[in-house]
Amino acid sequence: MTERIHVDLGDRSHDIHVGAGLIDDVGGLANLPETASNVALVSQRPVLERFGDRVTTSLGNAGLAVHVLEVPDGEPAKDLAVLGTLWDRAATIPLGRGDAVVGLGGGVVGDLAGFMAATWNRGIDVVHVPTTLLAQVDASIGGKTGVNLAAGKNLVGAFHQPRAVICDVEVLSALPPRVFTEGLAEVVKYGFIRDPDICTILEDGPPSPQDVDRITTLVARSASVKAQIVSADERESGIRAHLNLGHTVAHAIETLTGYGEVLHGEAVAMGMAVALELGDLLGVTGDDVRDWGIDLLRLMGLPVTLPALDRAKAWEVMERDKKATSEGVRFVVLEEAGTPTLITPDRAAVDAALDTMSSSGRQADLANQEVGHG
């Protein structure tokens, strides 16, 4: 089965395609203008070895000359120096204003390829072909692009909507188990903030990447939630902020642990656990919702307890976060499943939630593992 989800943004509208075997039809689904003659294919070596020839063939069959631009593996590739090499390579093609960039890979590749396209010749087209679960349900959708700085994650970037997003769920079977599992954090997030039926599906147990129909359903439902929110609030002036559930704490974890020790989805799971605890402490989230949410994260095999962090440094990072305002650091918490709300709590409340999910929460994790659910 194949699903098509529309992102309604006027002249920046585009479709998200979800299904099996779509990687062999990238050229047909890319929706590139007739002006495109060259494509810069941004990807990483392991992804190129598995899928590069299939994508190159499909784009070539669509009449495009494909130029492969390989970037390093991992989150450290989201770096200004790497972006500079992409610009230099684009100049040697040369990549014109009517040409395009195709990002083939996970969230790192999508952010790099998107930012390259947003800035090259003041903006050219980009198509995303995400190959991780996290990228298919989240990172490739919405037009956010960027790179990291030592001071924080995604501090330099731009909004740049793609021409199309092409999600082939069959490629997910090639992922290492840890990388597949981290993507479930974003799937859970969409259930938490808007579509509780996603959580109902997940309560039957973690999905397998080989279960194509179930994965297609989960990816399509998650993508549909994000598409609806982005269509209503492209630049995060309102409800798009709900997509940040767990991310304020997550970005602090990633920044302070060096971008890579803790995977993004793992950090988001920890951040959502903190948000559930924070909401409970402030009387916004009920005990039953907090317990249900944390139990679901654990059921997916996701971590809910934080690594040891220097609290002062963590606050420095959170206060520099893009989502912080002059009033303080904003957090998304849940009133109930499917009903998020934005708050700006005082530091004492946040510290209390962090303490709980760093100490007693760890003990709960260990107890959970002893009965076979960790």
| Positions marked active-site | 122, 144, 186, 226, 236, 240, 244, 247, 251, 264
Query: What distance in Å separates the CA atoms of residue 365 and residue 270, rounded to the nearest whole number?
Result: 12
Q: Is 299 helix (H, G, I), strand (E, B) or coil?
A: helix
Which residue in the block uniquely carries the two structure tokens 């760093």?
358
CB neighbours (10 Å) of residue 319?
14
β-pair type (164-168, 125-130): parallel
3-state secondary structure 77-139: HCCHHHHHHHHHHHHHCCCCCCCEEEEEECHHHHHHHHHHHHHHHHCCEEEEEECCHHHHHHH
Kind plus residue range of the DSSP H or E element containing 332:
strand 331-336
Query: What distance in Å separates the CA atoms of residue 149 and residue 188, rounded to the nearest whole number?
Result: 28
Query: What distance in Å separates the CA atoms of residue 88 and residue 54, rounded to the nearest whole number?
Result: 26
Query: What distance in Å separates the CA atoms of residue 189 and residue 242, rounded to the nearest whole number?
Result: 10
Query: What distance in Å separates the CA atoms of residue 127 and residue 164, rounded to the nearest whole number?
Result: 5
